[in-house]
């Protein structure tokens, strides 16, 4: 179900979207970010983390796979599954512990784990329209 759709013309417009995302009510606080390389997934997660009170330097976990940050809302999990080839690799990583933790969990490139996901999560699709313009669609998913 589509909850909200935005067209933005630059990074300075992300704060309203990040505030909207933070205020979504969810059993698991689980957010899947989809979009091409360079679409702005990590940048949006940085904004959300700041709003949640994290003072940590939020960076892409492309090589670490999982970054854990402190915030005024507890630990934040930022996961990047781009380099994984199978759901088994994700399970070996302990992905289910993060997904079902009830802490804020932000997953980039989540396609291979959707079958082991909790019954409820939010999906944020970011489409590149041009160098600065993005279309962002926020959906609520329920299995």
Angle (CA) 31-37-39 rounded to 5° is 65
Sketch the domain layout of the chain as residue ranges: 2-142
Residue 60 is predicted with a pLDDT of 86
Q: What is the pLDDT of residue 67?
A: 94
85, two tokens: 């080839």
Please tell me the predicted confidence (pLDDT) of residue 3.
94
pLDDT of residue 62: 78
What is the reported pLDDT for 63?
A: 77
- pTM for this prediction: 0.94
pLDDT at 26: 86
Specify the pLDDT at position 30.
96
Give the pLDDT of the chain (143 residues) as one tens digit per residue.
Answer: 999 999 999 989 999 999 999 999 888 899 999 999 999 999 999 999 999 999 999 988 877 899 999 999 999 999 999 999 999 999 999 999 999 999 999 999 999 999 999 999 999 999 999 988 999 999 999 87
Q: Are 54 and 71 in contact (CB under 8 A)?
A: yes
C-alpha dihedral sign at 130, 110, 88, 104:
positive
pLDDT at residue number 17: 96
Angle at 105 between CA 104 and CA 110, to 5 degrees: 155
Identify the pLDDT of residue 27.
83
Q: Which fold has domain 2-142?
A: Rossmann fold (3.40.50)
């Amino acid at each position: 179900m589509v909850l909200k759709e935005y067209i933005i013309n630059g990074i300075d417009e992300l704060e309203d979207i990040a505030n909207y995302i933070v205020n979504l009510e969810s059993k698991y606080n689980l957010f899947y970010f989809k979009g091409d390389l360079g679409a702005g997934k990590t940048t949006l997660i940085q904004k959300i983390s700041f709003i949640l009170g994290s003072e940590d330097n939020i960076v892409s976990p492309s090589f670490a796979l999982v970054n854990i940050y402190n915030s005024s809302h507890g630990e934040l999990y930022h996961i990047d599954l781009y380099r994984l080839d199978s759901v088994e690799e994700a399970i070996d990583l302990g992905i289910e512990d993060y997904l079902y933790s009830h802490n804020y969990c932000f997953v980039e490139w989540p396609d291979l784990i959707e079958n082991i996901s909790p019954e409820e999560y939010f999906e944020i699709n970011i489409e590149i329209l041009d160098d600065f313009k993005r279309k962002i669609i926020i959906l609520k998913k329920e299995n």
